[in-house]
Structure 1
Amino acid sequence: MPTVSRTFTVESSPAVVVPYLADFGNAEHWDPGTEECTRNDSGPVVVGSTWHNKSKIAGVSTELTYTLQELTEDRVVLIGRNDTATSTETIEVTPSGTGASITYTNEIDFHGAAKLASPLAKVVFEKIGGDVVKQMTDVLNALPRQSM
């Protein structure tokens, strides 16, 4: 099971970062692989909210349904599923100075014949991990520093 984890800091506070990242529709802005991410339900973003995500990774298009599995003041867990894989994205946010320290971890569990892709996927996702850090940092640093 390929796992990629990165820790980095941003200028926005946890009170701003956590709600922004919990709304997975925002992945269109911070995840370089996401081409489209549409909310399936409506109302406030809460545990159980779902999104339809279309991504392209290393030239391969895929679609997953993501569910917000856990949401606390310092942790967001989103699980994406389709027939070939389950992607668990865990984002832990702690105060760091006036901003936040973020640990982003993505675990991919391939199903069936797709498991054969695991070794290659690890290499691809390691590269994507660096891209996510850069793009997420830029997006989060552009948000207001404090919650309104």
Structure 2
Amino acid sequence: MERSFVVGLPLDELVAYLEDFGRAEEWDPGTLRCVRLDEGPVRPGARWRNTSRFRGRTTDLEYRLVEREPARLMFVGENKTVTATDDLGFEAESASLTRLNYRASLRFKGLAKLATPFLRAEFERLGDAVAERLPAAATRRRA
């Protein structure tokens, strides 16, 4: 799933907002709870436990920040049935606007792989909801 949209924040502020994956509760409609598992500054290796609901089922994934660059963040979440990757690229549109290129993927493991084709439409709907909700959540945080 890929979405590209503009957020009313400068690039560095948007990256700072999104690098704390615990804020997924604010912008990801599938996230019920997201709690940091370690302490200290957010940097590659930081971890969160994300509890989400997808297709009526609740699941926990342990996410970690695997890449943090000035214009890119990558998180990987995993449990016994799925690996989820959130890859966020940032481009300054102006001094106060940033284009977010958001790519999310799910890779199912074992027998769960068989469900992949049936989940695409729902995953796409979730992407639409993120694209709608994230810009408002990020700018509201700034106010």
TM-score normalised by length of structure 2: 0.96
Whether 2:10 is the aligned partner of 1:13: answer: yes
Where structure 2 has 5 or more consecutive residues not aligned to the other structure, the ranges are none
Q: CA deviation at 1:57?
A: 1.1
Counting only pairs closer than 5 Å after superposition, residues 1-148 of structure 1 correspond to structure 2 as 4-97=1-94, 98-144=96-142
Alpha carbons 1:12, 1:143 under 8 Å: kept: no
SS in 2 for 1:142: helix
Where structure 1 has 5 or more consecutive residues not aligned to the other structure, the ranges are none
| Bigger RCO of structures 1 and 2 (CA < 8 A, at least 6 apart) | 1
Q: CA deviation at 1:14?
A: 0.8
TM-score normalised by length of structure 1: 0.93
Q: CA deviation at 1:18?
A: 0.5
Q: CA deviation at 1:20?
A: 1.1
Identity of aligned pairs, percent? 35
Q: CA deviation at 1:144?
A: 3.1
RMSD, aligned CA: 1.1
Number of residue pairs matched by the alignment: 142
Amino acid corresponding to residue 64 of structure 2 in structure 1 = T
Runs of 4 or more above 6 Å deviation = none
